[in-house]
Chain A
Amino acid sequence: MRPFDYQRAERLEHAAQLAAGEDTMALAGGTNLIDLMKLQVETPQTLVDIGRLSLGEIADDGEGLRIGALASNTATAAHPRVRSDYPVLARAILAGATQQLRNKATTGGNLCQRTRCYYFTNIDQPCNKREPGSGCGAIDGIAKLHAVLGTSPHCIATYPGDMAVALSALDATVEIAGDGHERSVPVREFHLLPGDTPERDNVLEPGEIITSVTLPAPVGGTHIYRKVRERSSYAFALCSVAAVIDMADNRFTRADLAFGGLAHKPWHDPRIADLLIGSEPSAALFDKAADLLLEDAQGYGENDFKIPLARRTLTAVLCEATGVEA
């Protein structure tokens, strides 16, 4: 760990001012950032502790729900409205990390968590995300956890989280405050693909801080979060599917799907809902949905298995939601 300055923000405006400084990072739960600082993967000059700001509230927001950026993952997953109206979110959160980590981890921090690529977390290895231009160790290396969708020649890392995958299926919005401004970004647009700038995980600009995530009015339906992993807890997803599905007269009326473990961001492909809505569920239809999802999928040897695994996991989720047997 490198020596750093520690500042505690007392008010939001103060936090945004502080966070705009050079080499400055905001500290919330610290479950990811502090580990990375110990490894010198992150070496901020200044840490702005936003933990004392009043951003922990979970409250009704019109017909929807506003989840404060500092609400703990545990509090969000246990919140009665989340459990009754957005169960896919509760399930996704509870599928991630461990109870101890969820107690500390926050909504905003979770969205900003960094990849678990082995080459990113080892400062003696090349990584374009950590050190632009140094190369990508994973492409010809250990890539079992890595992305098959939306990769670039510079980076094949995945976004590791679960919560954001559910937020993507729910079409939630990220509320952001900067020094003197506020803006809203749909979760589906919050994370970026690696492209030529894999060092950028998301759209946050220096000095911007997430204040909350807002969920639209509840839509009902069947909520599923399916996470495939090697061990049954404390493991990142090989592949995950968040699904909000509704049917009428044996036809899809809603099919909001998002995928984790496959890309640099929670993956959402609007063509899948377009295909499913209005159609009768069947194994053949699910196969077509998987074809769309995986049309441009590319494996890197070790992670080739993710392509058939994603197909099978999507099929399993759609079968579970619709009662189709395949």
Chain B
Amino acid sequence: MSVHRKQDAPDERNVLDTTKQGVLGEPLERPEGLLKVTGTATYAAEFDAENCLEGVLVTVPVVRGKVTSIDRESALQMPGVVAVIADERLTGRAAQGMAGEAPFQPAQQVCYWGQPVALVVAESFEEARDAAKHLAVEIDEDGDEAPLDPDAVEAEQRKPTKNGDLAHAMTQAVHSVDATFTTDGHASAAMEPHAAMAQWDGQSLTVHASLQMLKFNRAELADSLNLKEEQVRLISPYVGGGFGSKLGISEEAVGASLAAMELGKPVRVVMSRQQVFQTVMRRSETTQRVRLAADGEGRLTGFGHEARVSNLPGEEFAEPVLQSSQFLYGGDNRLLQLEVARIHRMTAGSVRAPGEAVGVQTVEQAMDMLAEKAGLDPVELRLRNIPDKHPAKDKPYSSRKLAECLREGASAFGWKEGPRKPRHTREGEWWIGSGVASAARIHAVVEAKARVTLRPDGTALVETDMTDIGTGTYAILGQVAGEMLGLSLDDVEVRLGDTDMPPGSGSGGSFGASSCGSAVFLACEGLRDTLAEKLGIEASDLSLKDGFALWEDEKKAITEVLDGKAIEEIGHFEPGKSTEDYAVASFGAFFAEVAVNHWTGETRVRRMTGAFGFGRVLNARTARSQCLGGMTWCIGNALTESLLFDPTDGHLANCDLAEYHVPVHRDVPDLEVLLLEERDAAASPIQAKGVGELGLCGGAGAIANAIYDACGARVFAYPMTPDRVLAAMPEA
């Protein structure tokens, strides 16, 4: 049985507010948490098989060219080496998120420094690694110099958003800001490296892998290998962080599969940390010009946001920097323009909140500059510029807690109202200041299926190929099912991460919880209908709580209703027009206090408050954790994270976690999170929006504004490392 719903209209029934179990939204611990913290959850590289061989990818130190020969023979002379795989089906880069088809092939066509071109397979990992380092690969380097500098090439323009005349509005403005910002590239920096272990039985392929979106990955892998999708099974029950880097199938999974098919033995491939950094996905560096025109009261009359990003030739993805600029603030005269420079650095793709993670913070700095010019409290300036409806598309917002987040966040933080003047507080060597920024992130939902079985013993089983990338999927899907079926979380078993189960949405774009949660919800609605039918009552009269069916004054154990027979439903959720008719997005506000060292320009975040509204909260604990993670990334984004590319050959210089600086514990102070509950009927049947990325969308701007408030250094380049802060510090 299956329940299918395409959501063409808001679901105002708010069914989950009428159910009785009271498990949804509770701050419950993740059921798999103990496995993870005790090291007993099995990750991709930890699955074992008899006679498993080890593969190591061979990368080449060339920017662009074609592999002309590979000296297999001398590699095969080395101890333990079993094979050198240089099949035309090997891929030299990862698939973009939701591609559903093979990424660029063949790998022998080299497009960036460090691209994998072959795989060495040996009996031990050490032997394979040594042979991979020694494999002689001849490359016919492309004679033309490959462009490496995004600012030195002509860029392709994407379709702009234009309303009115921004240039004119700028000349007429009482207050205006015209500022250009840069952000450096980012790596996802997931803790678990990319890994796959493939087994081939002559007909079908089973791959244990670390991937975020299995139904797409299955199609990508099958297409890469020229297999039918039905021949491929992917298993990925736990993923040690994805952050976008595991959205698409990548080189290790294709390589392990090809090797397993050729050798008829299981083959495991684990990328080294350096390979993860050098080959997977980068967030593009950006250059952004923000123009704001305002009247005497600080109300926006013009809003401009233009950005240049980069990618490899042929890659469609362009860091969607302007995504939230479409709808966050008003201004009748608008110009939003994105352009893509084609350069030979590794693929640019989705990294932690693509777009907003670098696009909101620059607008928020410009807003801060405008507040200063208009002599307004920065919070007040933002409140004045919250538009009544989508500023370019004339449609209403489905729900929006932006004003409440700004007000309640300010109150919780202890924000001092009024216009700001920098360098007001000094403690010893340290300048102290605070800053604010709005948060915004687009909403997305994706087709998803889940099967829910109510078993004769009264417990439930939820099954979908949806993944848990550390976000809490096991918990929240169990809570949705428990709420709908009147069961505690202990009585709901959730199985994830196996393409033998119904295809979920996958984890990405903050859409997993609302999409797969809706599929589970729909399946449970079907089960409730069946139970009501068995009881001979209307489903609307049925309540389920603690394993009992309740209606009027009657009460009956669910086990009794089932009478020894399991019932199951597949919920099938499909996005429809409801998200087109409304501007649907998640909103919030950040407040940060920083200390900037007068002598050295070192900046330390002292405290941070984030207030967020993202529809229904499914689990207050995991939602809060998501926000904490996002705010931690804000600190890295603002202060330390930067991919450093060599200007001569374009190689990534800082390719490990010692040199690519994500925040350490000591950089992350007490973070306060406020969850402002709301219901968004247009967003999904469970009235939830996304939270995974929201905590990262704008907060670096609050830190930048706090740096300015503290010491008077207005820094236009992210990350704001000591050298950049010192260079901008007055009288430094």
| Count of inter-chain pairs, beta carbons less than 8 A | 95
Closest approach, in angstroms, between the C-beta of B175 and any C-beta of chain A?
A: 33
| Distance A3 CA – B134 CA, assembled complex (angstroms) | 13
Does any Cβ of A come within 8 Å of B156's Cβ? Answer: no
Enumerate A211-252 residues with CB–CB distance to B below 8 Å.
Answer: 228-235, 238-239
| Distance A148 CA – B194 CA, assembled complex (angstroms) | 38
Binds A, one of B289-297, B327-335, B548-556, B655-663: B655-663
Does any Cβ of A come within 8 Å of B186's Cβ? Answer: no
Does any Cβ of A come within 8 Å of B8's Cβ? Answer: no
Q: Are A125 and B651 in contact (CB under 8 A)?
A: yes
Q: Considering only CB atoms, which chain A residue lies closest to B635 in the complex?
A: A231
| Distance A231 CA – B644 CA, assembled complex (angstroms) | 16
User: Given A1-B129, A231-B639, A316–B664 Cβ distance below 8 Å?
Assistant: no
Binds A, one of B159-167, B487-495, B699-707, B720-728: B720-728
Q: Are B663 and A309 in contact (CB under 8 A)?
A: no
The one of A39, A231, A239, A316 in contact with B663, judged by C-beta atoms closer than 8 angstroms, is A231
A-side binding surface: helix, strand, loop or mixed? loop
Question: Could you say which residues of chain A place their CB within 8 Å of the CB of B723?
Answer: 144, 238, 305, 309
Q: Considering only CB atoms, which chain B residue lies closest to A303 in the complex?
A: B723
Contact string against A for B residues 638-676, beta-carbon threshold 8 Å, 1 for contact and 0 otherwise: 011000111110010110001101011111000000000
Does any Cβ of A come within 8 Å of B126's Cβ? Answer: yes
User: Given A228-B602, A305-B727, A141–B663 Cβ distance below 8 Å?
Assistant: no
Enumerate A302-323 residues with CB–CB distance to B below 8 Å.
Answer: 305, 308-309, 312-313, 315-316
Closest approach, in angstroms, between the C-beta of B732 and any C-beta of chain A?
A: 8
Contact string against B for A residues 1-22, beta-carbon threshold 8 Å, 1 for contact and 0 otherwise: 1110000000000000000000
| Distance A266 CA – B297 CA, assembled complex (angstroms) | 57
Q: Considering only CB atoms, which chain B residue lies closest to A117 in the complex?
A: B653
Q: Are B602 and A229 in contact (CB under 8 A)?
A: yes
Q: Are B429 and A118 in contact (CB under 8 A)?
A: no
The one of B79, B599, B667 in contact with A315, judged by C-beta atoms closer than 8 angstroms, is B599
Q: Are A312 and B653 in contact (CB under 8 A)?
A: no
| Distance A235 CA – B636 CA, assembled complex (angstroms) | 13
Question: Could you say which residues of chain B place their CB within 8 Å of the CB of A238?
Answer: 722-723
User: Given A231-B639, A312-B599, A313-B600, A142–B653 Cβ distance below 8 Å?
Assistant: yes
Q: Are B664 and A232 in contact (CB under 8 A)?
A: yes
Q: Are A142 and B726 in contact (CB under 8 A)?
A: no
Q: Are B726 and A141 in contact (CB under 8 A)?
A: no
Does any Cβ of B come within 8 Å of A295's Cβ? Answer: no
Q: Are B646 and A141 in contact (CB under 8 A)?
A: yes
Q: Are A231 and B664 in contact (CB under 8 A)?
A: yes
Q: Are A230 and B639 in contact (CB under 8 A)?
A: yes
Does any Cβ of B come within 8 Å of A205's Cβ? Answer: no
Q: Are A232 and B726 in contact (CB under 8 A)?
A: no
The one of A118, A140, A313, A315 in contact with B644, judged by C-beta atoms closer than 8 angstroms, is A118
Does any Cβ of B come within 8 Å of A124's Cβ? Answer: yes
User: Given A305-B726, A316-B429, A230–B661 Cβ distance below 8 Å?
Assistant: yes
Question: Could you say which residues of chain B place their CB within 8 Å of the CB of A228?
Answer: 600, 602, 722
Contact string against A for B residues 598-627, beta-carbon threshold 8 Å, 1 for contact and 0 otherwise: 111110100000000000000000000000
Does any Cβ of B come within 8 Å of A122's Cβ? Answer: yes
User: Given A116-B659, A234-B658, A141–B722 Cβ distance below 8 Å?
Assistant: no
The one of A116, A123, A140, A316 in contact with B600, judged by C-beta atoms closer than 8 angstroms, is A316
| Distance A229 CA – B597 CA, assembled complex (angstroms) | 12
Q: Are B599 and A316 in contact (CB under 8 A)?
A: yes
Give the most central of A142, A230, A305: most B CB within 10 Å.
Answer: A230
Question: Could you say which residues of chain A place their CB within 8 Å of the CB of B598?
Answer: 316
User: Given A1-B126, A124-B61, A144–B667 Cβ distance below 8 Å?
Assistant: no
Give the most central of B429, B721, B732: most A CB within 10 Å.
Answer: B721
Q: Are A118 and B599 in contact (CB under 8 A)?
A: no
Q: Are A231 and B667 in contact (CB under 8 A)?
A: yes
Closest approach, in angstroms, between the C-beta of A218 and any C-beta of chain B?
A: 28
Does any Cβ of A come within 8 Å of B130's Cβ? Answer: yes
Q: Are A142 and B600 in contact (CB under 8 A)?
A: no
Closest approach, in angstroms, between the C-beta of B657 and any C-beta of chain A?
A: 9
| Distance A230 CA – B600 CA, assembled complex (angstroms) | 10
| Distance A119 CA – B640 CA, assembled complex (angstroms) | 21
User: Given A124-B61, A141-B648, A309–B666 Cβ distance below 8 Å?
Assistant: no
Does any Cβ of A come within 8 Å of B133's Cβ? Answer: yes
Contact string against A for B residues 394-415, beta-carbon threshold 8 Å, 1 for contact and 0 otherwise: 0000000000000000000000
Closest approach, in angstroms, between the C-beta of A26 and any C-beta of chain B?
A: 22
| Distance A39 CA – B666 CA, assembled complex (angstroms) | 29
Can you report 5 A-B residue pairs in the complex whose CB atoms are below 8 A from each other? A3-B79, A39-B274, A230-B640, A233-B664, A305-B722
Q: Which A residues contact B (CB, under 8 angstroms)?
A: 1-3, 38-40, 116, 118-119, 122-125, 137, 140-142, 144, 228-235, 238-239, 305, 308-309, 312-313, 315-316
Q: Which B residues contact A (CB, under 8 angstroms)?
A: 61, 79, 126, 129-130, 133, 274, 429, 598-602, 604, 639-640, 644-648, 651, 653-654, 658-659, 661, 663-667, 719, 721-723, 726-727, 732
7 interchain residue pairs of minimum CB distance: A124-B61, A305-B723, A316-B599, A118-B653, A142-B653, A232-B666, A228-B600
Other contacts beyond A122-B651, A309-B723: 16, CB < 8 A: A38-B129, A118-B644, A122-B653, A124-B61, A124-B651, A125-B61, A137-B646, A140-B648, A144-B723, A228-B722, A231-B639, A232-B667, A234-B658, A305-B722, A316-B598, A316-B599
